[in-house]
Amino acid sequence: MTDAKREHWDEVYRTKAADSVSWYQPTPEPSLRALDELQLPATAALIDVGGGASSLVDRLIERGWSDLSVLDIAEPALEVAKARLRGEAARVEWVVADVTIWRPARHYDVWHDRAVFHFLTEPEQRLGYRNALEAGTAPGSVVIIATFAPDGPERCSGLPVQRYDAAALAAEFSSAFVLEREWREEHTTPAGGRQSFQWCVLRRR
Ligand SMILES: C[S@@+](CC[C@H](N)C(=O)[O-])C[C@H]1O[C@@H](n2cnc3c(N)ncnc32)[C@H](O)[C@@H]1O
């Protein structure tokens, strides 16, 4: 299962320009706004789970964040981000792993996931994700997570997705996390399409 998933995503990042994929954002505005509102110090440890080639880490390095990690199942995605960052790439910890079987060796203050959890359509995959999340966070840690909303697309990158409203998404994590904030976002794809996203900020009890 993991091999097929990895091959799918490796192929995506090997064959498509990072700024042509449907999830591309010139600037990760909703994530940056959420982080601004949380008023975290730049020393906070943040992991971008399934970060792919996102420029979130670029923007956070510019803002002086000093403890940044990016995890993705697809090494070619991380290579795109590293090439873009050049020398600054050394300031980020890069992790190639399937989050559903990954066991973090440390805690993060912020667990950021834009458009990854919604690919986990099987209960055991979501359980694996929750296990990683709980191992990688501590009381007070924050999760910023975005999935397709109920009126969002049924598929992404050719794969089926599970869509969530705020209540359903928060319920996935309610054993350990409390919902602090939620909002919807209309993402415009590079091709000009519109995709409804549901965002949640959750805090670990
Ligand atoms: C739709 S893209 C979103 C990328 C990035 N978060 C962004 O907002 O630009 C989904 C990303 O999740 C990664 N991914 C998918 N399944 C994964 C898994 N099980 N473990 C880790 N990464 C995964 C893919 O390689 C891809 O980079």
Q: Are strands 155-156 and 45-49 parallel, antiparallel or unpaired?
A: unpaired
Atom 5 (ligand 1) nearest CA: 51
Residue nearest to atom 2 of ligand 1 (CA): 115
Distance set, CA 141 to CA 50, 84, 107, 144, 173 (Å)? 18, 29, 8, 10, 13
Cβ–Cβ contacts within 10 Å for residue 98, how many? 20
Q: How far is the CA of 167 from the centre of ligand 1 (A)?
A: 23
52 CA from centroid of ligand 1 (Å): 6
100 lines ligand 1 (CB under 6 A): yes
**123: enclosing H helix or E strand:** helix 123-135
What Rg do the C-alpha atoms of the chain give, in angstroms? 16
Give the residues of the chain that fall short of pLDDT 70: 1
Domains and CATH numbers, the chain: 2-18+42-204 (3.40.50.150)
Q: Is the CB–ligand 1 distance for residue 130 below 6 Å?
A: no
Nearest CA to ligand 1 atom 27: 52
Q: What distance in angstroms lies between residue 186's CA and the mean position of ligand 1's atoms? A: 19
pLDDT at residue number 1: 56
Predicted confidence at residue 24, as pLDDT, reads: 98
Edge-to-edge strands, sheet with 45-49:
92-96, 67-72, 45-49, 110-114, 142-148, 194-204, 177-188
Atom 18 in ligand 1: residue holding the nearest Cα: 98
CA 22 to chain centre: 15
- CA dist 141 and 46 (Å) reads 10
Phi then psi for residue 172, to 5 deg, are: -60, -25
Query: Distance (Å, rounded) from C-alpha 81 to C-alpha 56?
Result: 10
Q: Which residue has the tokens 């940044």?
A: 68
Pocket test residue of 9, 13, 75, 144 for ligand 1, highest count of atoms within 8 A of CB = 9
